Structure 1
Amino acid sequence: MQSEIRKELLDAFTNAGDDFLSGQHLADLIGCSRTAVWKHIEELRKEGFELDAVRNKGYRILKTPEKITADEIRFGLTTKFMGRNIHYEESVESTQKIAHRFASEDASEGTVIIAEEQLSGRGRMARKWHSPKYTGIWMSMILRPNIPLSKAPQLTLLTAVAIVQAFEEMTDLIPEIKWPNDILINGKKVTGILTELQAEADRIHSIIIGVGINVNQKKDDFPLELQEIATSLYIEKKETVSRAELIRSIFMHFEKLYTLYLQQGFLPIKLLWEGYASSIGKYIKARTLTNTIEGKAIGITDDGVLKLEDQSGCIHHIYSADIEL
């Protein structure tokens, strides 16, 4: 009940913009007492929200905290289901682990687990993902699409497009997507995406998409072995980016693309993805579990599988591989 009041309170402030909202109006809108409204206002202040309170006018939010708590993300959120249920932690082993548990407990679609720090973050093929505190976005999103098992990897590509669109909305940077799950800026990795399933042989129960985004790290925040291959939005933009605002933008773009995908299939997503792809038209090495194939990346199939043409003209379909440009 308390969390629902908080959600409705933040939605009211979001819709009000710069206008004041009286305690009585908030109480009537939410269906609680003015005392309950006041208590939640004080809790927001403790979280770091700066509120203006004027006699006979009411309250308005002037400034939000630097953390990415559920309340901070909800203030200004315009989505219908993405991010409407947020589980926030200061520090976790892995948001993916928590998301798997929540998904098995029937968490609603659009539920997001987000943390300020991951102690054991991981990417594809169990690689470690460096996730320092208060600098990046480390989150896992729970989805429940009614799609065939074979189409689940398409949501990795959809997520990449949504994140790139959010980057473009908030910065003047030019991001590129490296198949299947990396986003690069100036050739360096800024984002990784990890897609995992809870499924039976013929049915998906849930798809859990883990996202790691380097937002405000400085170069010295990365281990030495990553400093030449990884970057952050701060390093490239040379100014701090609001993590909460970026998260809200990602949720908005993701929800639009996901709804489009469920209505029209993968083709509209494919066309957008190819427009951002860094590898299309270039010669690459694709290292699979069994061998290495070299050739020209000529696009992706309607299912999102990478097409690579070798020197003999043979076209290989790459389902999973490490790509080197």
Structure 2
Amino acid sequence: MERIIKVLKDCRGKWVSGEELARLSGITRAGVWKRINQLREMGYRIESAPRNGYCLVGIPDLNPFEIRDGLKTERFGRDIHYQDVVDSTNRLAKRLAVDGAREGTLVLAESQTQGRGRLGRSWVSTRGKGLWFSLILRPKISAADLAGMTILTAVSMAKAIYDTVGIRVLIKWPNDLVYQDRKLAGILAEVNGEADLVNYLIIGLGLNVNQEEDDFPPELKQSAVSLRMIHGSELSRRPILQEFLSVFEGNYAALSNGGLAKIIEYAKSYSATLGKAVRVNQGYHRTVTGEAVDLDGDGSLWLKESSGELLRIYAGEIIENME
């Protein structure tokens, strides 16, 4: 099938006979017809006419063939599990990881029926309007050293957005990307393993790309935002995803060479949290307040309480900006 779409893309806007496609693909004309219909189901707009053959007139914004075409990574995004609708990309990624899926496998969906954020919250995944995906990682580090992975992911997506769209977004510790205090993206990391051994790590990311304000439910209209709302026009999701995978792979590889320190410095310069008075929910009905003063080398947050005492926060959620 990839051979057929390559020929059609090379001749985009021109007619290619079924006989020629069959010859170049090494299949029968009936096989060509079958694959053309499959490509149409995947979102390719292909016209057909007697004695003319087939003509490619439109390419889908997001599917495995198009993602791999021009992808600069060695591993990440080379194996793709694409679904139109899935309950949760993280759940599917977990099942694949248990079955032995290799590191760098990408799980991607047009819509999630049970998309999740941190603390069990639901995530609104409007069909075809965002990037809803998960990556399978098998890092050779202990679970205690995973605190920086969420920030590494946030930094990678922030850079990818700036490089492709030119929009500077900020990182709200520990797992959100925001624009003018409105949430643009969220990250959910889930690990399986023991204290000194990680079997696999799933990094899930949801990015609002082409939603308009009416696409968000009433309770999110004032707190959520999309790249389209910021940019002013519809955007292709594919180059953003491709750039993210490339940046992420480089940052991930740099971890073994002390690269997290550089990533933390980037996160500091793009932080929406540092220097502000905040309230942090640590779970189990425990909250702490203070000024967010620094990020540690492992991604944890240093909070200065009103008493002047410094408190190190390894995990939690900023639930209120008190300024």
TM-score by length of 2: 0.85
Which range moves more in the overlay, 191-200 or 263-272?
Answer: 263-272
CA contact (8 A) 1:99 1:141 kept: yes
Query: 1:139 aligns to what SS in structure 2?
Result: strand
CA contact (8 A) 1:153 1:195 kept: no
Query: 1:161 aligns to what SS in structure 2?
Result: helix
CA contact (8 A) 2:141 2:196 kept: no
The AA in structure 2 aligned to 1:233 is L
Shift of 1:309: 0.8
Which range moves more in the overlay, 259-268 or 99-108?
Answer: 259-268
**2:314 alignment counterpart:** 319
> Structure 1 residues 62 and 256, CA, compared in 2 at 3 Å: closer, same or farther?
farther
Unpaired stretches in structure 1, ≥5 consecutive residues: 53-58
Q: 1: CA distance between counterparts of 2:224 and 2:142?
A: 34
Q: How does 1:298-309 map to 2 (within 5 A)?
A: 298-309=293-304
CA contact (8 A) 1:270 1:302 kept: yes
**2:163 alignment counterpart:** 169
Q: How does 1:3-152 map to 2 (within 5 A)?
A: 6=2, 33=26, 42=36, 43-44=38-39, 47-49=42-44, 63-66=58-61, 68-152=62-146
Query: 1:157 aligns to what SS in structure 2?
Result: helix
Which range moves more in the overlay, 258-267 or 42-51?
Answer: 42-51
Q: 1: CA distance between counterparts of 2:98 and 2:131?
A: 24
Q: 2: CA distance between counterparts of 1:306 and 1:62?
A: 51
**1:256 alignment counterpart:** 250
CA contact (8 A) 1:152 1:207 kept: no
Shift of 1:296: 1.4
Matched, 1:241 2:235: yes
CA contact (8 A) 1:218 1:235 kept: yes
Q: 2: CA distance between counterparts of 1:260 and 1:209?
A: 17
The AA in structure 2 aligned to 1:69 is N
Shift of 1:73: 1.6
Shift of 1:213: 0.7
Query: 1:303 aligns to what SS in structure 2?
Result: coil
Identity of aligned residues (%): 35
CA contact (8 A) 2:144 2:195 kept: no
1:74-95 CA deviation, whole Å, 9 max, x = no partner? Answer: 2221211111001011111111
Matched, 1:231 2:225: yes
Number of residues of Structure 1 aligned to a counterpart in Structure 2: 309
> Structure 1 residues 10 and 86, CA, compared in 2 at 3 Å: closer, same or farther?
farther
Q: 2: CA distance between counterparts of 1:158 and 1:225?
A: 30
Q: 1: CA distance between counterparts of 2:7 and 2:148?
A: 36
**2:51 alignment counterpart:** none
Query: 2:206 aligns to what SS in structure 1?
Result: strand
The AA in structure 1 aligned to 2:194 is E
CA contact (8 A) 2:147 2:314 kept: no
For the aligned residue pairs, the C-alpha RMSD in angstroms reads: 3.1
Shift of 1:144: 0.7
Matched, 1:182 2:176: yes
Q: 1: CA distance between counterparts of 2:56 and 2:266?
A: 37
The AA in structure 2 aligned to 1:304 is G
> Structure 1 residues 310 and 48, CA, compared in 2 at 3 Å: closer, same or farther?
same
TM-score by length of 1: 0.84
Which range moves more in the overlay, 160-169 or 282-291?
Answer: 282-291
